[in-house]
A and B are shown apart, each in its own frame.
Chain A
Amino acid sequence: MSTNPHDMPRREGAFEREPARRVFAAELRECRYQFKDGEDEKSPTFVLLPSGERSNRIFIVGTLTEKTRQGEQNMFYRGRVVDPTGTFFVMAGSYQPEAMQQLAKIEPPQFVAVIGKPNLYQKPDGSWLVSVRVESITVVDMDTRDIWVLDAAKHTLDRVDAFAKEPTPDILKAKEQYPTIDPSLFRKIAYDALAQIKI
């Protein structure tokens, strides 16, 4: 309880949209921990990034290299979006009709911007897959891709720096869930991604 009514935070009555995190494929691939914030059926689901930040939504820009249509009655599209560090697996099903139509129209290879929600799956062989359920996918130019690499590198470095400093509850959780991952690895990954941009 606050001791002074003037310290009380201004209550947020308005809806706050979950921000779209910037993360390289090489980091997202390492996610193994997914949780719900709250007991409610509608509570958002988060994937915990190894660098210690929760993400309900991500924004990625890369090259759509491949897309496949799957299923008969429950048709959906899968795609592979490649950034300088690895591959994102994206999918859009009949619950995302707008995203599915967008993805259906794009002929790879193309630079694409994807807004979507990361989800964790464990495959029958026990290996893990992080898949991105597409909310929206549009064709963009190479400039946008390059700006995204800078953006993703900046946020990755911010997270790695924060990880080494004062631990937030999510950073503590990441240390517990990913004991074998040293986030300074992502600094190197960011460097390599930046170095691939030709000036």
Chain B
Amino acid sequence: MDYSEAANRISRKFAQGGQTPDVKKIEGKLRRLVDEFGVQPSEAERSVISELSKEYNLPAPGSGGSSGAGGSGGGTQEKKIAEGVPGEWVTIEGKIVALSAPASPSIAQSGIIADESGAIRFVVWAKSNAPAMAEGSWYRIESAVVDEYKGVANLKVHSGTTIKEITEDRSLIPAPAPIRDLRPGIGSVRVKFVQEWEANHERMLQSGLLGDESGTIKFVIWKEPGKERLVPGAVYSIFYAQVDEFNGRLSLNLNAATILQEEGEIAVSGGESTFTGAIVHIAPGSGIIKRCPVEGCNRALSRQNYCPVHEIQPKFVYDLRIKGWLDDGEKTHNILIQRDVVEALTGISLAQAQEIAENNPLGMDEVFLQMRDAVLGRYITCHGREIDGRLLVNKCDKVAFASSDHTALLNRAGGAPS
């Protein structure tokens, strides 16, 4: 192995990124690995590169563009922002559409950079000594690295990255996407503020539900100087909001987003859905339940009339509900049926259920059993809003035998094989 040749090659690779590694030291390390430890030359080279990458706070070159570049010019590819894949070195041109407070002293700047294809969060390491970028300006960022943080693609500006401001005037009009099409990362939407929720954290300024024609999504704004609350019922264009994912559910963090109130109205679908199938399971906690009477609480109480927040509540309020699974043979939907629909479906009113609960030896269990026997295994069509993977049923119809379906199926089964 020609150690000095290899050392020069490695050194050139890092020099492209603005580093000045010691060629002699590299050569020494290679020699030591190969001569003393019997390491394969290719493996030794990989190991030294990886060590240096760590030293300069760069991700180890993997399958991405940089490895095997072998010193030939321009190891990274120029890409549109939307095309960046974690693990890749990229060169992009984009506009800084948001800057946010760095979360750690090792970060100089963080925010969102966008081009016409999309947007990505970026982080500039303090160690990189990169020039500060200004919100609203365009930059060409060469040899940055796309990686993944909490499942979301992220652009890392390290010491090997060069940043050039683009002075020519470029316009960028972000296109809002339907809520249904949002993915973790950055997204722009045009929405109506459907419902305000109580802030459940002291650092939270506001949270609630936003909706468009395709569905609804939860949002949150954290307390920060200059942040304003949204007005319930108003329509907004929201550019470059952070789309987070938790337990498979998406939510929008609007702190770094650009928010414009708009005229007009949006017919929010509200996640209105309809499913038809057979009820294949009635979950415990169905039937008659007791609820906490404290204003605004309404939580279901345990058997001992215990509310997780307000403790023992002897003056509880009775309610009916059915939690279960509706199954169409291909997919099973989690359903939650509210009181008036339960009454219509089971033929047991709240008053009757209360009578059974208070006088039958089995108490509330008897209501559960009677309701289970009345609905389990039956075909029903449920209408309602789907929130967090559960259908809140506000209307429900029993499926009737349709002789037209019967005839159509007879024809299909009797017809020639397709």
Contact = CB atoms under 8 A, between A and B. Distances in A.
Nearest to B82: A6
B248 A138 contact: no
A5 B153 contact: yes
Contact of A146 (B151, B246, B401): B401
Contacts of B330: 19
Nearest to B328: A19
B329 A155 contact: yes
Contacts of B418: 161, 164
Contact of B332 (A19, A113, A138, A195): A19
A22 B329 contact: yes
Interface core residue of B247, B250, B334, B413 (most chain A CB under 10 Å): B413
Interface string B74-92: 0000000011111000000
Contacts of A191: 410, 413-414
A100 interface: no
A151 interface: yes
Contacts of B378: 113, 140, 144
Nearest to A139: B373
Interface in A94-111: none
Contacts of A13: 245-249
B406 interface: yes
Given A19-B327, A150-B409, A190-B413, A4 B85 contact: yes
B325 interface: yes
B377 A61 contact: yes
B406 A5 contact: no
Interface residues of B, number: 49
A124 B238 CA distance: 68
B21 to A, nearest CB: 30
Nearest to B84: A5
Contacts of A112: 377
Contacts of B14: none
Contact of A19 (B331, B389, B414): B331
Interface string A170-199: 000000000000001001101100110101
Interface string B327-368: 111111010000000000000000000000000000000000
Interface string B271-289: 0000000101100000000
B278 A20 contact: yes
A115 B373 contact: no
A12 interface: yes
B376 interface: yes
A5 B86 contact: yes
A136 B332 contact: no
A151 B413 contact: no
B281 A151 contact: no
Contacts of A146: 401
B84 to A, nearest CB: 7
A42 interface: no
A154 to B, nearest CB: 6
Given A10-B248, A20-B280, A194-B409, A164 B417 contact: yes
B122 interface: no
B263 interface: no
B99 to A, nearest CB: 22
Contacts of A16: 332
Contacts of B245: 10-11, 13
A76 interface: no
A113 B406 contact: no
A68 B249 CA distance: 47
B403 interface: yes
A38 to B, nearest CB: 19
B413 A187 contact: yes
A58 to B, nearest CB: 9
Given A3-B85, A18-B332, A12 B327 contact: no
Interface string A122-148: 000000000000011111100110111
Nearest to A143: B401
A151 B412 CA distance: 13
Contacts of B83: 4
Interface in B375-418: 376-379, 388-389, 399-403, 405-406, 409-410, 412-414, 417-418
Contact of B406 (A11, A140, A164, A199): A199
Given A10-B250, A19-B327, A157-B412, 18 more contacts: A2-B85, A4-B82, A10-B183, A13-B245, A13-B246, A14-B249, A14-B389, A19-B328, A20-B278, A20-B327, A20-B329, A59-B327, A112-B377, A113-B378, A136-B281, A148-B278, A187-B417, A199-B403
18 contacts: A13-B246, A13-B248, A14-B389, A16-B332, A17-B281, A19-B331, A59-B280, A59-B377, A114-B377, A135-B281, A144-B377, A150-B402, A150-B406, A153-B413, A154-B409, A161-B418, A184-B417, A194-B410
A-B complex: 8 closest residue pairs judged by Cβ atoms: A113-B377, A13-B248, A191-B413, A13-B247, A17-B332, A138-B376, A14-B248, A115-B280
